Structure 1
């Protein structure tokens, strides 16, 4: 399901216009992004949680030359499904 299909589903389920559903989805996305940028965890009961994972810098060897290089530290976003969602899928 892509963003347009999700927006259409929200509009139908909430009995609102497509434009309003799109604005709601955009605001939801922006809110999650802002919280994650500030290092906060976003938990949605029954669905799961969006969490920021910090990965430290590390050395690796280039596979062709064998040269040792340094990979920079970075942050990524993980989604951890709730037990309720995991049980629904299994």
Structure 2
């Protein structure tokens, strides 16, 4: 499902126009982004949790030259689905 299909599904489920559903989805996305940028985690009961995951710097070997290089540390978004979603999938 892509964003357009998600908007259409939300519009149908909430009985609103696709423009309003698109605005709702964009607002939700911005709210989650802002919370994560500020270091908060976002938990939606029955759906899951969005959180920031920090990855430390590490050494690796370049496959062509064989030299050892340093990979920078980085942050990424992690999503952990709720138990309800996990049980429905299995």
TM-score range, shorter chain: over 0.9
Q: TM-score scaled by structure 2?
A: 0.98
Residue 84 of structure 1 corresponds to which residue in structure 2?
84
Residue 32 of structure 2 corresponds to which residue in structure 1?
32
Task: Give the aligned CA root-mean-square deviation in angstroms.
Answer: 0.5
* Length, aligned pairs only: 90
Q: TM-score scaled by structure 1?
A: 0.98
- Report the Cα offset of residue 39 of structure 1: 1.1
Q: Which runs of 5+ in 1 are unaligned?
A: none
Q: Which runs of 5+ in 2 are unaligned?
A: none
Structure 1 residue runs of 4 or more that deviate by more than 3 Å after TM superposition = none
Map 1:31-70 to 2 at 5 A.
31-70=31-70
Q: Look up the SS of the partner of 2:6 in the other structure.
A: helix
Q: Give the Cα separation in 2 of the matches to 1:28 and 1:57.
A: 32
Residue 71 of structure 1 corresponds to which residue in structure 2?
71
